[in-house]
Amino acid sequence: MDGLKASLEEGVRLFRMNRWEPALAELLKVDADGFSVEEAADLAYYLGLCYTKLRRYDDALLYLEQVVTSSPDPLRMYQCRMTLAYIYAITSRSKLAEFELGRLVEGGFESVQMYTTLAYAAWSQRHYQKAIDYYEKALDLDENNPTALNGLGYILADSDLDVVRGVRLCRRAVDKKPQSPAYLDSLGWAYFKSGDAAEARIWLRRALDMAPYQKEIREHMKTVVAPE
């Protein structure tokens, strides 16, 4: 048992050094038979995080779900539900992402990250008003959060609900993170939706220079230059 615990400790140490592959290899040596509930939850937690970092999402889900059903630590449960929601959102399983985040809301947890992830999941399902409401809640918690500024600005402009505010919010996001191609793209698209194609081309060109293979940026640029 001491050897197994040593492997667990070594895996955790390697994980904290951002050495995902060797951390995973060390953790996979551990047989949790005989572990306490807390020790087994620790092992599942770090295995889930390693797999997430390595983008092996199906493997990550297996372990993260173990943590949310068995961990006695509410903070760790919160972290794992957030990670589950992130995985579900980026793998186009938005309803599952909303479910995980909804459980956190029911439990009294609240954070900017939670609301922006909920907003993204709602937007992915074309529930635009719900996405707007979640982004607004995120901004109530942090009025300068660039993710919320960009997400809300993009939806308001793209849906024509409030293009002027959409441009303003996207501009604030770019001011916060001027090297983000996603934010530059949103600002360019917002300008296009406002009728300012010349300004749109400037920002979309910057976004495309940074991320030339990003499909959405290329499609936006194609639409903006099409009339010419």
pLDDT digits (tens, 9 = 90+) for 112-160: 888 888 888 788 878 899 899 999 999 999 999 999 999 999 999 999 9
Residue 109 lies in a domain: yes
Contact between 46 and 55 (Cβ < 8 Å): no
- Give 4 or 114, the one with higher predicted confidence: 114
Q: Which CATH number do you get for residue 57?
A: 1.25.40.10
- Give 42 or 184, the one with higher predicted confidence: 184
Q: Is the model's pLDDT at 3 over the cut of 60?
A: no
Same domain? 135 vs 160? no
pLDDT band at 101 (very low <50, low <70, confident <90, very high): confident
CA-atom Rg of the chain in angstroms: 21
Q: Is the model's pLDDT at 38 over the cut of 70?
A: yes
Contact between 52 and 79 (Cβ < 8 Å): no
d(CA 184, CA 137): 23
pLDDT band at 4 (very low <50, low <70, confident <90, very high): low
- Give 6 or 169, the one with higher predicted confidence: 169
- Give 226 or 54, the one with higher predicted confidence: 54
How high is the mean pLDDT of the chain?
89
Show the domain range for 33: 1-72
Domain boundary among 72, 101, 125: 72
> Can you tell me the mean pLDDT for 204-222?
93
Same domain? 139 vs 149? no
Residue 77 lies in a domain: no
Exposed / middle / buried, residue 95 (Cβ in 10 Å: 0-12, 13-18, 19+): exposed
Same domain? 155 vs 198? yes
Write down the pLDDT at residue 1: 47
pLDDT band at 77 (very low <50, low <70, confident <90, very high): confident
Write down the pLDDT at residue 70: 80
d(CA 63, CA 223): 43
Q: Is the model's pLDDT at 2 over the cut of 60?
A: no
Same domain? 137 vs 156? no
Contacts of 78 (CB under 8 A, 6+ apart): 104, 107, 109
Residue 112 lies in a domain: yes
> Can you tell me the mean pLDDT for 74-86?
86
Same domain? 45 vs 12? yes
CA distances to 136, 153, 157 from 143, rounded to whole Å, are 9, 13, 19
pLDDT digits (tens, 9 = 90+) for 180-200: 999 999 999 999 999 999 999
Same domain? 102 vs 60? no
Write down the pLDDT at residue 187: 97
Return the exposure string of 35-47: e unless at least 16 CB atoms fall within 10 Å of the residue's CB, then b: beeebbbbbbbbb
Contact between 167 and 195 (Cβ < 8 Å): no
d(CA 106, CA 10): 36
Write down the pLDDT at residue 39: 81
Per the structure, the count of domains in the chain is 3
- Give 159 or 94, the one with higher predicted confidence: 159
Write down the pLDDT at residue 123: 87
Same domain? 120 vs 185? no
Residue 81 lies in a domain: no
